[in-house]
Each structure stands twice: as C-alpha cells, then as structure tokens.
Amino acid sequence: MNTMQENTKTPVHVSIIMDGNGRWARERGLERVRGHYEGIDSVRACTEAAVECGVKYLSLYAFSEENWNRPQAEVDTLMSLMVKCMENELPTFHKNNIRFVVLGNRSRLNGELNRVIDHCMEETASYDRLTLIVFLSYSGRWDILQAARKLALDIAADPSLAERLEQRDLSERLVTAGIPDPDLIIRTSGEQRISNYLLWQGAYSEFFFTSVLWPDFRKDEFRKALEEYSKRDRRYGKVK
C-alpha cells in the first residue's frame, strides 16, 4: 500500500467538486451519461487513495440544488446511478472500515434513494478509517439558510440566545455539524469557482484547481493535489 511520507502534511478533510463528466463524454462522441459512469471509477480510485494517504474525511459534491434544473432524463439517470453505486459499494465499505454519509436536502430525493442511503449510513455508522461524504441536493446557501431557520426557532424559544450568539451556534446547525472543515477543496475540469458549495465551511480551505476532467482524475492526480497541499503555508489571516 502506497502511503504518503510521514513528514508531509496530510489534510484531514479533502473535498472534491467533481466536474467535467459531460465534456469528457462529448470529447469522445459519447452521451453525457457515459461520463457519469466513468466518473464512478474516479470516485472509487479517490476513495482508495484517500485511505492509502491517511485522509480521514473525503467529501464529494455529487449533485447540487441547481443540478435539479438539468434535463429530467439526466437527473433520473444520475439518481439511479447513485442507488446502484451505493448498493454495489456497501461490501467495500464493510471490508475497509469506511463510514458512508450523505448530506443535503434529502426531502427532494426519491423514496428508493433515501432508503438505500439510510441503509448504507446505518450499516457503516460505527466505522472510522475514512468517512466518505456525498453531498446530494446540496448548496452552501441552502445549508446556511436551513441552519438560520433552526437558529430562529431556538431564539424564539429562548430570546437570550440572540445576545450570546457565536459562530459555533451556526456551525452546529449546518448539516456538516461534527465534521471538520475541509482543509483542501479540489475542483476538476478547469473551472475556478466555488459554485455555491461549502461557503461557510470553506472559509479557510486551500484550493486546488486542475484542468483534468473528473473521469480522468484518478489516484495519481489525487496524490498530486495532496503533494501540492503539503507545500502550502496556511496562516488563517495571521502573521507567522
């Protein structure tokens, strides 16, 4: 097993905006969906690489709230792909001690997908080698809004909370409560933007942009991003 050198700085939480499946397929004269199928192999490769490198949390932006506006046929294909992928990968999660978590606006997901998600999450809840998080029907602003709604209700019940409010009070109401903020956010396919992803949680994240399309982003590319991260000087606004 290929592990990173002990003296390099390994990020605890790596997050990936998986982009470029459609372009990968178009370049080959294939239907967009073929890019998504191929992208599943990249998910598997990066999960393996994350375990090998000692990363504790790997999160993937698989479907944004905005993605619901794609053609219905593509949305349906992506949803059934998620179901199949989770069913297929469950034995691997068991074998490799991987906790599987889905975060996002689950009320918009269909019953079958929600049942498979519940099953995978319950079965793997006690595992701790790697936590694999899939963001589904997620957007950063949606997350902040749903946390603000919870806060508003809690303040209505206890108005003194408004006076004592701290950043932690909002963090604890985000869907990512309990998960460390991402140290490194990778975006594939050459786009250099956050696209309504982890807006609050990514406040101090390092960014790694690569022109490699998601279906081509495999173990070597993942290791390259970690190598680059290990050279960054994180100051959190302070002077060293």
The binding track of 25-64 with respect to ligand FPP, each residue x by CB under 6 A or -, is: -----------x--xx--x----------------x-x--
Site membership for ligand FPP, residue 103 (CB under 6 A): no
Q: Which stretch binds ligand FPP (CB under 6 A): 12-20, 104-112, 142-150, 192-200?
A: 12-20
The binding track of 120-139 with respect to ligand FPP, each residue x by CB under 6 A or -, is: --------------x-----
Q: How many residues bind ligand FPP (CB under 6 A)?
A: 21
DSSP string, the chain: -----TTS---SEEEEE---HHHHHHHTT--HHHHHHHHHHHHHHHHHHHHHHT-SEEEEEEEEGGGGGS-HHHHHHHHHHHHHHHHHHHHHHHHHTEEEEEES-GGGS-HHHHHHHHHHHHHHTT--SEEEEEEEEE-HHHHHHHHHHHHHHHHHH-TTHHHH--HHHHHTTSTTTTSPPPSEEEE-TT--S-TTSSTTTTTT-EEEE--S-GGG--HHHHHHHHHHHHT----TT---
Residue 67 annotated among the catalytic residues of the structure: yes
d(CA 90, CA 96): 10
Tell me which residue of 183, 231, 224, 189 sits closest to 207, measured CA to CA. 183
d(CA 16, CA 182): 10
Min CB(30)–ligand FPP separation in Å? 12
Min CB(136)–ligand FPP separation in Å? 8
Q: Which is nearer to ligand FPP, 147 or 210 (CB)?
A: 210
CB contact at 8 A, 122 and 48? no
Q: Please identify the residue of the shown chain whose CB is closest to the bound ligand FPP.
A: 22
Residue 114 annotated among the catalytic residues of the structure: no
> Residues 14, 16, 18, 120: which binds ligand FPP (CB under 6 A)?
18
Q: Which stretch binds ligand FPP (CB under 6 A): 14-22, 118-126, 140-148, 224-232?
A: 14-22
Q: Which is nearer to ligand FPP, 108 or 234 (CB)?
A: 108
Q: Which of 2, 7, 19, 183 is catalytic?
A: 19
The binding track of 65-94 with respect to ligand FPP, each residue x by CB under 6 A or -, is: --x----------x--xx--xx--------
Q: Which of 67, 96, 105, 114 is catalytic?
A: 67
Distances (CA, A) of 102 to 34, 89, 125, 158, 235: 23, 14, 12, 31, 31
Residues classed as catalytic: 19, 67
> Residue numbers of the site for ligand FPP (CB under 6 A)?
18-23, 36, 39-40, 43, 60, 62, 67, 78, 81-82, 85-86, 134, 189, 214
